[in-house]
Amino acid sequence: MSTGLPEAWPRLLGDVGGSNARFALETAPGVIEDILALSNARYPTLQDALRDYLAQAGARRVAHAAIGIANPLNGDQVTMTNCHWTFSIEATRRALGFTTLLLLNDFTALALALPRLPRGELSRIGGGEPRPDSPLALIGPGTGLGVSALVPHAGGWRALSGEGGHTSFAPANEREIGVWRYVSSRFGHVSHERLLSGSGLSLLHQALCALDGAAELDLAPSEVSARGLSGTDARCRETLEIFCGLLGSAAGNLALTLGARGGVYIGGGIVPRLSGFFEQSPFRRRFEDKGRMSAYLADIPVYLITSAYPALPGVAAHLADHLAPRDPAPVDTTTHPRGGTAGDMHA
């Protein structure tokens, strides 16, 4: 569909996490305005949240929309892992009168945004210079743990979609072995997301309490962070140190798997709140602590994403690509043995 049509603008963009949904209007290519963050808990459905946003933004007519969502996508029906919303993409599109409604994984959207993020919205944490034409890795703890990547493709980039946050956690020392045993006894499989997420901060703290024979306090993630950062609670401080160390190990694994010599990017809502502590934490040491591959990793830069709404440019790029006019496929005029051409073989 040509972007020159009157209905092409504005376009609705969304970035839906487990706790909050961020919506915006793209009023012209790359011009993103009217950004609002809404709490998922306030709305029975995604449709309700979208209607409220459009009313608040005063958007009379939107034809095209795209939303990054913190969830696997497999067909029309979506049941969110860390939110109560369940919906049909097509039914939502029809109910809101959209011509287009695209959904993509939120970390795929964030990966697509990486080349578009201003350098001023990236904080570098060690490493050398990024290598051009090399993969970019992305990992980020928030309500869950997102993982994605960009790989060079046909003069541009292609984003990888997956569920790398659910890979198995491997402890690296005796303290972490104790954490693994505690979490395994409660949940069976211990994924990285169990520990590298908001609820993971609370779970880590509970595990350390149990290992120390102390009462297991039910602290919210924000309270664990606040006590740890202030230095008033040694166990909360250790929780943050272990959290950052585990993230370093997971990010190093991802960099090795992808050959991400273009850089590793840290997204999600948790790490930016640890600014000042994170840079001095065990993160970088654990990132590079891979035996014979340590020198390889020491060369790879890590960037902490500090943008307020970093995924929205990636959502916009995905929607623009979908709406871009396509050149018609060339007709194969090769003569076939029975006569005629490939173009009329269906007759």
Q: Identify the CA nearest to 317 among candidates 209, 178, 157.
A: 157
Residue 17 marked as a ligand binder: yes
Q: Identify the CA nearest to 141 among candidates 310, 282, 268.
A: 268
Please tell me whether the peptide bond between 337 and the residue prior to it is cis, using omega within 30 degrees of 0: no
Residue 18 marked as a ligand binder: yes
Distances (CA, A) of 315 to 139, 159, 234, 339: 17, 12, 41, 47
Collapsing DSSP to helix, strand or coil, 30 comes out as: coil
The upper half-sphere exposure of residue 58, i.e. CA atoms within 13 Å in the direction of its Cβ, equals 3
Residue 140 marked as a ligand binder: no
By DSSP bridging, strand 100-105 and strand 64-69 are: parallel
Beta bridge partners of 150: 136, 159
Determine which helix (DSSP H) or strand (DSSP E) holds 15, and give its type and residue range: strand 11-16
Sequence letter at residue 212: D
Residue 15 marked as a ligand binder: yes
Given its phi and psi angles, is residue 339 left (phi above 0), alpha (psi -120 to 50 degrees) or beta? Answer: left
Dihedrals φ, ψ of 4, to 5°? -80, -10
Binding residues for ATP: 14-19
List, as residue ranges, the binding site.
Answer: 14-19
